[in-house]
A and B are shown apart, each in its own frame.
Chain A
Amino acid sequence: AQKVTQAQTEISVVEKEDVTLDCVYETRDTTYYLFWYKQPPSGELVFLIRRNSFDEQNEISGRYSWNFQKSTSSFNFTITASQVVDSAVYFCALIVTSGTYKYIFGTGTRLKVLA
Chain B
Amino acid sequence: SQTIHQWPATLVQPVGSPLSLECTVEGTSNPNLYWYRQAAGRGLQLLFYSVGIGQISSEVPQNLSASRPQDRQFILSSKKLLLSDSGFYLCAWSVGGSLQYFGPGTRLTVT
Residues in A lying within 8 Å of B, measured CB to CB: 33, 35, 37, 42-45, 47, 50, 91, 95, 97, 100-103, 105-108
Contacts and interface: CB of A to CB of B under 8 A. Distances in A.
A95 B49 contact: no
Contact of A103 (B46, B57, B97): B46
Contacts of A44: 102-105
Q: Interface on chain A toward B: helix, strand, loop, or mixed SS?
A: loop
Q: Which 5 A-B pairs have the closest CB atoms?
A: A107-B43, A45-B102, A33-B98, A43-B105, A105-B44
Q: How large is the interface on B (under 10, 10 to 19, 20 to 34, 35 or more residues)?
A: 20 to 34
B43 A42 contact: no
7 contacts: A35-B99, A43-B105, A44-B104, A50-B99, A100-B32, A101-B32, A103-B100
A43 B104 contact: yes
A31 to B, nearest CB: 10
B43 A106 contact: yes
A94 to B, nearest CB: 10
Contacts, number: 47
Contacts of A91: 43-44
Given A45-B90, A45-B92, 10 more contacts: A42-B104, A43-B88, A44-B103, A44-B105, A50-B99, A100-B49, A101-B98, A105-B43, A105-B45, A107-B42
B47 to A, nearest CB: 11
B104 A47 contact: no
B73 interface: no
A50 B102 CA distance: 15
B43 A102 contact: no
A101 B94 contact: yes
A42 B88 CA distance: 11
A37 B101 CA distance: 10
A11 B38 CA distance: 20
A102 B49 contact: yes
B44 A102 contact: no
